[in-house]
Amino acid sequence: MGSRAILLVTALLLLAPGCFRNSKAPEVGERFVLEYAPPVTATAERKPVAEALRVGRFSADPALETTQMAYRPSLFREETDYYNRWIVSPEALVSGFLLRDIRQGGVFLAAFSDGEPQAARFLLRGHLEAFEERDDGKGRTASLAATVTLLDLSKKEIPERLLFQKSYRFEEPLSEIGGRGLAQAMSRAMEKFSARVIEDSYLAASRL
């Protein structure tokens, strides 16, 4: 190879993306979190359950185990947004806000997270099946779906421990396109989801 050819190849390599050691990767866009006031439910005026409740961290479908915002542009397609992300993964957001709302509502003697050592009679678990933007051709919505299980750990046998297992789904329209619009709509969906779970958990535990 002649000297001119060598110089040409070297120049092309230097100009190629990623050849510079200090080249920058694409910057991540905004990070979002849910924003809503703890819901006031019908249980607020009732006597609290005189037992503690533990809220376990939710599990999630594999497609949701990322901070990248998920969206379904059409049937059979699932995409993620590199530039708009949740501050933590969706299952952590949901379980964290649910714990906050249960504590704020005061419907149990106490409420603990999965990592706290205090004993609790009841265990609330959940699996997140949807936490995404959906476009059905008529409009875009924030979709939150989860299956929640409440267990009474004072019972020895598994069938006796199960107080309920229910599936929930909430859809809220986006008022604007983009990460902020999804965060706003998902906050409304989470508020309704949390209120329903709190009411169902209180009713199931207070009957014992």
Mean pLDDT across the chain, nearest whole number? Answer: 88
Nearest to 131 by CA among 160, 165, 92: 92
Question: For 91-132, how does the pLDDT look when each residue is reduced to its tens digit (9 = 90+)?
Answer: 999 999 999 999 999 999 999 999 899 999 999 999 999 999
Please compute the mean of the pLDDT values over residues 15-39 and round it to a whole number.
Answer: 66
Q: Exposure string (b/e) for 109-146, b if CB count within 10 Å is 16 or more? A: ebbbeeeeeeebbbbbbbebbbbbbbeeeeebbbbbbb
Domain 3-206 indexed as CATH 3.40.50.10610: yes
Residues 95, 103, 185, 169: is their CA dihedral positive or negative?
positive
- Burial (CB count within 10 angstroms: exposed 0-12, middle 13-18, buried 19+), residue 107: buried
3-7, 10-14, 79-83, 178-182: the lowest-pLDDT one: 10-14
Domain positions in the chain? 3-206
Question: For 57-88, how does the pLDDT look when each residue is reduced to its tens digit (9 = 90+)?
Answer: 999 999 999 999 999 988 888 899 989 999 99
